[in-house]
Structure 1
Amino acid sequence: MAETITRSPRTRGLRTRPSAAEDRPPKRAEVSRQQILDVAASLFRARGYTETSLRDIGAQVGMKAGSLYYHFASKEELAADVLRIGVERVHEAVASAVAALGPGAPMKARIEAAISAHLETLLVESDYTSAHIRCFPYVPPSLKAQLSQARRDYEAIWRRLLDEAAAAKALAPGIDAEVARLAILGALNWSLEWFDPVRGRPEELIRTLVAAFTR
């Protein structure tokens, strides 16, 4: 039940000025680490790594740039968390989508599930994954090194999947499994540059890739 508030005739119908507590920007302790990560992921996705500053991120969460150091030692440390989460989320999505079909599922269906899960995470579900794809080529070498294991772990899913497809003769004739992996992931990640979410999920791209690389 909503609380009933009685106002005097003098104040009824008038907007009262917010209290000092309501009017002030949030303190650093009131802004959670998760809020900062979410804002950073959104800005990294939209602008890229080099064009996003700590000042930009701080402005979005209502903090001065210097106050962000309460949570993160540097922009690089913040970006490392955002990009790591991004690759972990797509890893989990693809692994879950393939596993849900069961080990006896046709290879074509498993590859289609992996493609669909990658696209869904990249384009619809996660600013973090989109930020990873957009920013990784431009981050410092030290940050790339920090992310290398997480990226290798995710790539291993695709290597295993496509190697199994090749062994089952489920790849299109003349298609090498490693070339297929690079081509599929390249096409999926490039969709970030042209896909319009207003038009819905990119079913045509999914069908095209499955038809091009499987039989």
Structure 2
Amino acid sequence: MSYAGIGISPGNVPVYHGSNLKVFDKRVRVVELVLRFLICGLGVLAAVLVGTDTEVKTIFTIRKRATFTDMKALVFLVVANAVAAAYSLVQGLRCVVCMVRGKVLFSKPLAWIIFSGDQIMAYVTVAAVASAAQSAVFGKLGQPELQWMKICDLYKKFCNQVGEGLASAVVVSLSMVVLSCISASSLFRLYNGGKNKSNSRW
């Protein structure tokens, strides 16, 4: 039984569901803020590590330079993490503004935009990590059946730095997946809240 948002516990102790809900929302927003700035920092780190990685080797008097542009998967990884970092910076600033103004919930159109953006970035970052990881495996282990040599045996520094960037990108992609779940939950709660209000009128 509840009156004006106040629930009565078996011990006749008032329980303020609305206040608890606001506290929960604020905690979720704090987690979202931390994740967005984490993605921003690690996304930039991954893009810089892979994008600036280079190593020169001399093979039979021929100098060969290895860069991330030699592998399309690494180019995709750099672009995806750079975009994710920029997107997360914008969304992080939005979170800061909302927290300063004391606004936790937002309108449905804005919730849909955030939800769609988070979903797209989650798919893009996961796809970038998957493709780069596959290329990294080929570079590390080679493919004897196709006579593909182990590139990392030749360009060790290059592969090590790519591995560091890939590790950062993995954290970025996992964080984006968590954020997409948070934005989905926030969106659906807006609709559930509307249903609860309409049901309470009867």
TM-score, structure 1 as length reference: 0.27
- Tell which has more relative contact order, 1 or 2 (C-alpha 8 A, sep 6+): 2
Greater per-residue helix proportion = 2
Greater per-residue strand proportion = 2
TM-score, structure 2 as length reference: 0.28
